Amino acid sequence: MSDLVVRGASVWRDAGWVDEDLRIVDGVVASEGGEPPAADQVVIDGAGLLAAPGFIDLQCNGAVGIDLASEPERLWELAGLLPRWGVTAWLPTIVTTPPEVIERALATLAEGPPPGFAGATPLGLHLEGPFLAPGKRGAHPRPLLRSPDGAAASGWSRPAGVALVTLAPELDGALDLVRDLVDRGVVVSLGHSAATADQARAAVEAGATWVTHLFNAMAPLHHREPGLAGVALTDERLHVGLVADGVHVHPDVVRLAWRALGARMTLVTDAVAALGLPPGEHPLGRATVVVQDDAVRLPDGTLAGSALSLDQAVRNCAAFTGCTAGDALSAASAGPARVLGDSGRGSLRPGRHGDVVLLTPALEVVATLVDGRIVHDAR
C-alpha cells in the first residue's frame, strides 16, 4: 500500500482552508482517522504552503515546442511536462485539421502511457473544429472547415476518447449533431460562432453545456442582440471557458465576467507550442505564429491561442477580479471537473483522486502530485 502525507499545509476543502494533514493512500485522498500510516509513508513538508486540487486544463493545444495538431503522437510527452504548471489532468486539444490527425490522436490516447510515464492524466480529446463558422474561424484554416456532418463525427464518443467538441450552433445540422454527441457522452461547447442569442439558446436546449473562450471568436455582446456571449453570461446551464491572459480579454472585462459567472467560470489556457518558449516564431498546425508581448498571433495579427500557463491564469484571475485565492483555484479545478462530469477530481475530499498542487501564498507552483505520486517538485 502506498501512503503519502502532506504535513503543515493549508488545504483547500471546497469552500474554505483547513490546517490539517492531507493523506493519500493508493492514489486516493484518505479520511482522517483511517488506517494507521504505513511504515514506508512518504512525508512532504508543506509548512507555509497551500494544498489545492490539481488543475484541469480543458483546452491545451501544445507547449514547449510540441504542437498536437501536427504531432499528436507527442501527446504523452506533453502530458509529462504540464505538471510544472500545476496541471494534473487535461484535454489534449486538436484544432481544425485533416481527419487523419484526429485518428492519430485517438490512437495515441488509446495506446496509453509509455513505460515509466509520470505526468498529467489525459481525460479525452477536445476537438475544436472543424464545424466552425468561417467568419469566426480565428486561426483555424478556412479550407478545412466544414458543415456539421454526422457521418464525419460518427466515431466520436466518450468511450472512444472524445471528451469535448467545440462547434458553431448556427450552422445547418448543428443541433442534430449536438444531440447525437451528448447521447454519446461527449460534452458540447459553443464557440467560433456568430450565433444569435436564440441560436445559442437552441443549442443549450439540445444539450450544449460549455462555451469556448468567452468573447473570443464570437459575435460581440450588443444590448439589442446579446448573441452567444450574452447567453453565456446569463444562462445558468452553461459553464464558460475564459483565457485570462489579459490579451484575449481585457482585465476589466474578466472582472465583469467573473461577477456574472462566479463558479461557472472555468479558466483555460488555449496554450500552443509557444508556451514555455522564448518570443519568436513557432508552429501551430499548418501555420506559423509569432510570440511577442505575451501574445501569440498569426502574421496578420490574428490571435492564435496563447502562451499562458494555467497557474498564471489562476494568479491573473485573482489579480484581475479581486476574487479569493480559493475561488481562483476552484476555477481551474472544481469548475473544469464539473464541466466533464468528473466527480473524482477537482476536490480534496476523501475518496477523490490524490491530484494535488502545492503553492506558495503567492500561488506559485512548488510541487504537483498525480494520484498521490510526486511528478514535479521545484525544490
Task: Specify whether the CB–CB gap between 137 and 145 falls below 8 A.
Answer: yes
Distance from the Cα of residue 218 to its chain's centroid: 19
Three-class secondary structure of residue 148 per DSSP: coil
Strand pairing class (55-60; 87-95): parallel
Please give the single-letter amino acid code of residue 268: V
Q: What are phi and psi of 6, to 5 degrees?
A: -100, 120
Active-site annotation holds for 270: yes
First-to-last C-alpha distance (Å) of the chain: 26
**DSSP alpha helices (H): ranges in the chain?**
75-81, 99-111, 174-183, 197-206, 227-234, 251-261, 310-321, 325-330, 334-340
Alpha-carbon span 262 to 131, nearest angstrom: 29
Task: Find the catalytic residue in 57, 245, 270, 311.
Answer: 270
Alpha-carbon span 331 to 239, nearest angstrom: 10
Task: Specify whether the CB–CB gap between 183 and 159 falls below 8 A.
Answer: no
Strand pairing class (50-53; 10-12): parallel
Burial class (CB within 10 angstroms; exposed 0-12, middle 13-18, buried 19+) of 89: buried
Task: Specify whether the CB–CB gap between 361 and 90 falls below 8 A.
Answer: no
Query: Using DSSP, how many helices (H) and how many strands (E) does the chain show?
Result: 9, 24
- DSSP state letter for 341: T
Please give the single-letter amino acid code of residue 12: W
Active site residues: 270
